[in-house]
């Protein structure tokens, strides 16, 4: 793979597409009921603290290294190999979930007669082709696609507003049951998905052009994505009310009921396009992260690593019997117990070790 420098605009485009992903199509923090949008804001602020105080702090201390290089430098060879391989598996698993989500939802809503295997092979090959052509291609694609995605979302929001389906009184009363349900819905679930997933970009930040401003630009893109997801959650609640937490893709459900000016209806293909785009960039970014991590561990870059990781993602996507089993396992175990280890605990440990090492080096230099 030919790894080239990426611009700030390209970096920001992928951050936005990655964080929005398919999350804006779903109703997040449904346990908080009418205050789900508040829970998203709380989760975003917690994720922002994690991003600025841990992930970007690690980058500032070691700007020329990616996550795996940081792990090896701070933990040494024996433990470093274990933790690094664990991150490879984590990146693969996240990609697996997105691949399976894509296949299941396409069958449910658009291609009911298409075998799941065909859909998964298609998206895996397309993702592998992107990874094969290097990090610059992925980021240039994100830069080209993001404006189209934003335009489609704006069209959807305008059509929904003009259709008369939105009833913003569904958002009230605010904090009727106090702040605890909001906090319980936000932590750790919304940090694990989607805001804590920004840990992946420790694999990419080192490739950013050294023009300065990367840290502040990343934070701005993170805030834009978080507010965008919050806004979408508010639209879903305003349109579906208490039914928002009972349907698989609320935004798709809303567009199915929409009729605009007595002639424009059934715009769910636009939602499907958003779903495909979001899932594709997310699974490809994780796929790329796993390939970069494994290449770093093996000290070589090879097309066989791309094939090997792709095979793991393909076969792993069949570990769940159906879509609902994947969702249940994800919310019962992954977001509460598994993901915080990779998104919060390990990065905080690495940051503590990096700070200790820096102070020790400064002390030795003074002496």
Q: Is 1 within a domain? A: no
Strands of the chain, DSSP E: 259-260, 264-265
Pick from 169, 177, 209: which is nearest to 39 by CA? 177
Q: Quick check: is 361 in a domain?
A: yes
Q: CA–CA separation, 246 vs 350, rounded Å?
A: 40
Give residues with Cβ within 8 angstroms of 122, minimum separation 6: none
SS3 165: coil
DSSP conformation class of 113: T
- The mean pLDDT of 346-361, rounded to a whole number, is 93
Q: What are the residues whose beta carbons fall under 8 Å from the beta carbon of 143, sequence distance 6 or more?
A: 7, 9, 10, 13, 14
Which tops the pLDDT comparison, 276 or 73? 73
**Cα 201 from Cα 340, distance rounded (Å):** 16
Tokens of 206: 């080192």
Q: Is 133 helix (H, G, I), strand (E, B) or coil?
A: coil
C-alpha of 205 from chain center: 16
Residue 74 within a domain: yes
pLDDT of residue 148: 93
Per the structure, the count of domains in the chain is 1
Tell me which of 116-120, 201-205, 256-260 is least confident. 256-260
Q: What pLDDT, on a 0 to 100 scale, did the predictor assign at position 192?
A: 87
Q: How far apart are CA 192 and CA 204, in angstroms?
A: 20
pLDDT of residue 259: 62
Q: Distance between CA 179 and CA 169 in Å, rounded?
A: 19
197 occurs within a structural domain: yes
Instruction: Give the structural domain span for 140.
Output: 8-366
- pLDDT band, very low/low/confident/very high, at 129 (cuts 50, 70, 90): very high
In a domain, 80, yes or no: yes
DSSP notation for 237-294 = HHHHGGGGGGSS-HHHHHHHT-EETTTEE--HHHHHHHHHHHHHHHHHHHHHHHHHHH
- Give a yes or no: residue 3 inside a domain: no
Longest dimension (CA), the chain: 80
- The fraction of the chain above a pLDDT of 90, given in percent, is 57
* Dihedral of alpha carbons 97, 99, 102, 105, sign: negative
Under a CB-based contact definition with an 8 Å cutoff, are residues 102 and 242 in contact?
Answer: no
What 3-state DSSP class applies to 208? strand
DSSP 179: S
pLDDT tens-digit readout, 67-80: 999 999 999 989 99
263: tokens are 């002639």
Mean pLDDT across 241-257: 80
Mean pLDDT of 110-138: 92
Question: Given pLDDT bands bounded at 50, 70 and 90, which one contains residue 266?
Answer: low
As a whole number of angstroms, the distance between CA 166 and CA 68 comes to 46
* Residue 121, token pair as written in the block: 């092979």
Question: Strand, helix or coil at 6?
Answer: strand
Instruction: Name the nearest CA neighbour of 224 among 11, 7, 16.
Output: 16
What count of residues does the chain have? 367
Q: What is the CATH number of the domain that holds 359?
A: 1.20.1740.10
Cα–Cα distance measured from residue 82 to residue 218, given in angstroms and rounded to the nearest whole number: 29
At residue 340, the pLDDT reads: 94
Residue among 312, 285, 316 nearest 203 (CA): 285
Residue 157: inside a domain, yes or no?
yes
pTM assigned to the model: 0.94
pLDDT band at 336 (very low <50, low <70, confident <90, very high): confident
Query: pLDDT class for 111, splitting at 50, 70, 90?
Result: confident
């Amino acid at each position: 793979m030919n790894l080239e420098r990426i611009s700030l605009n390209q970096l920001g485009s992928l951050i936005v597409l990655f964080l929005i992903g398919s999350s804006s199509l779903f109703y997040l923090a449904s346990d908080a009921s009418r205050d789900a949008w508040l829970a998203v804001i709380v989760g975003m602020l917690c994720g922002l603290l994690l991003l600025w105080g841990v992930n970007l702090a690690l980058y500032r201390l070691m700007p020329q290294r990616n996550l795996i290089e940081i792990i090896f430098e701070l933990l040494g060879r024996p433990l470093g190999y274990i933790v690094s391989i664990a991150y490879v598996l984590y990146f693969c698993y996240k990609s697996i979930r997105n691949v399976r989500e894509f296949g299941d939802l396409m069958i449910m809503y658009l291609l009911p007669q298409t075998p799941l295997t065909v859909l998964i092979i298609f998206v895996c090959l397309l993702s592998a082709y992107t990874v094969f052509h290097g990090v610059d291609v992925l980021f240039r694609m994100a830069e080209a696609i993001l404006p189209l995605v934003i335009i489609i979302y704006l069209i959807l929001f305008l059509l929904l507003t003009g259709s008369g389906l939105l009833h913003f009184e569904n958002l009230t009363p605010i904090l009727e049951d106090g702040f605890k349900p909001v906090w319980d819905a936000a932590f750790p679930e919304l940090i694990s998905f989607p805001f804590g997933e920004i840990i992946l970009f420790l694999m990419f930040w080192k490739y950013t052009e050294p023009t300065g401003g990367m840290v502040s630009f990343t934070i701005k893109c993170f805030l834009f994505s978080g507010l965008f997801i919050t806004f979408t959650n508010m639209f879903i609640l305003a349109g579906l009310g208490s039914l928002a937490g009972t349907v698989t893709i609320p935004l798709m459900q809303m567009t199915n009921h929409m009729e605009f000016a007595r002639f424009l209806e059934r715009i769910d293909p636009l939602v499907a396009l958003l779903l495909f785009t979001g899932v594709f960039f997310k699974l490809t970014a994780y796929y790329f992260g796993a390939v970069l991590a494994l290449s770093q561990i093996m000290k070589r870059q090879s097309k066989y690593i791309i094939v090997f990781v792709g095979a793991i993602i393909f076969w792993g996507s069949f570990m769940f019997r159906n879509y609902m089993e994947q969702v249940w396992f994800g919310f019962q175990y992954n977001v509460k117990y598994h993901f915080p280890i990779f998104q919060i605990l390990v990065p905080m440990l690495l940051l503590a070790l990096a700070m200790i090492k820096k102070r020790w080096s400064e002390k030795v230099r003074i002496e």
